[in-house]
């Protein structure tokens, strides 16, 4: 089983609420690059889950388009900050799943999957991705396969 933890791309700081912040032009390009890099890496998700916040949904939709994902992207409240990893894992229904969310919870989720007590070690910049492989979908059982930031993703797609 593979989980791809993705932090949303760059978003505007001006919006009626935090939930309504949309991607900037740069953020849309970051998302496209992220999706293209995942495609180049052979990623074939069976499920894409995203935080319901606009910037995460937009990031997930662009990634899905780049991957020619045939299904709907699904909003998942468990990808909002302050939701426990065990509840998020219950939403995962596929062997290869992309999870689009926010910091700091993505770092906490990544640490929990790997059995680490130090989420600060897994700080994710905007539009970065970590690939975790698991034999079983359980806390502390994951192996980090790779962790790529936007600069590295750009090099992969150029």
Q: What is the pTM of this model?
A: 0.96
Q: Is the pLDDT of residue 139 over 90?
A: no
pLDDT at 20: 96
The answer to whether the bond into 141 is cis (omega within 30° of 0) is: no
pLDDT at 138: 85
Average pLDDT, the chain: 95
Q: What is the pLDDT of residues 62-89, one digit of tens each?
A: 999 999 999 999 999 999 999 999 999 9
Closest among 80, 73, 129 to 103, alpha carbons compared:
80
Which residues are CB-contacts of 96 (< 8 A; sequence separation ≥ 6)? 1, 2, 4, 43, 44, 45, 46, 47
* Rg of the chain in Å (alpha carbons): 14
Question: Quick one: tokens of 148?
Answer: 């790529």
How far is residue 50's CA from residue 7's CA, in Å, rounded to a whole number? 10
How far is residue 70's CA from residue 89's CA, in Å, rounded to a whole number? 22
Q: What is the pLDDT of residues 84-125, one digit of tens each?
A: 999 999 999 999 999 999 999 999 999 999 999 999 999 999
Banded pLDDT at 158 (limits 50, 70, 90): confident
Burial of 129 (0-12, 13-18, 19+ CB in 10 A): buried
User: What average pLDDT score do residues 54-64 get?
Assistant: 98
Asked if 3 and 127 touch (Cβ cutoff 8 Å), the reply is: no
How far is residue 14's CA from residue 102's CA, in Å, rounded to a whole number? 18
pLDDT at 17: 93
User: What average pLDDT score do residues 7-27 get?
Assistant: 95
């Amino acid at each position: 089983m593979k989980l791809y933890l993705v932090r949303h791309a760059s978003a505007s700081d001006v919006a009626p609420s935090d939930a309504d912040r949309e991607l900037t032009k740069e953020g849309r390009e970051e998302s496209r690059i992220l999706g293209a890099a995942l495609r180049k890496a052979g990623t074939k998700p069976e499920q894409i889950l995203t935080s319901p916040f606009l910037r995460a949904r937009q990031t997930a939709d662009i990634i899905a388009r780049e991957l020619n994902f045939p299904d709907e992207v699904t909003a998942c409240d468990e990808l909002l900050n302050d939701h426990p990893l065990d509840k998020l894992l219950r939403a995962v229904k596929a062997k290869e799943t992309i999870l689009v969310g926010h910091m700091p919870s993505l770092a906490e989720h990544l640490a929990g999957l790997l059995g680490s007590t130090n989420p600060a070690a897994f700080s994710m910049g905007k539009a970065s991705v970590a690939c975790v492989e698991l034999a079983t979908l359980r806390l502390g059982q994951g192996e980090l396969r790779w962790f790529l930031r936007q600069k590295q993703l750009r090099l992969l797609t150029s």
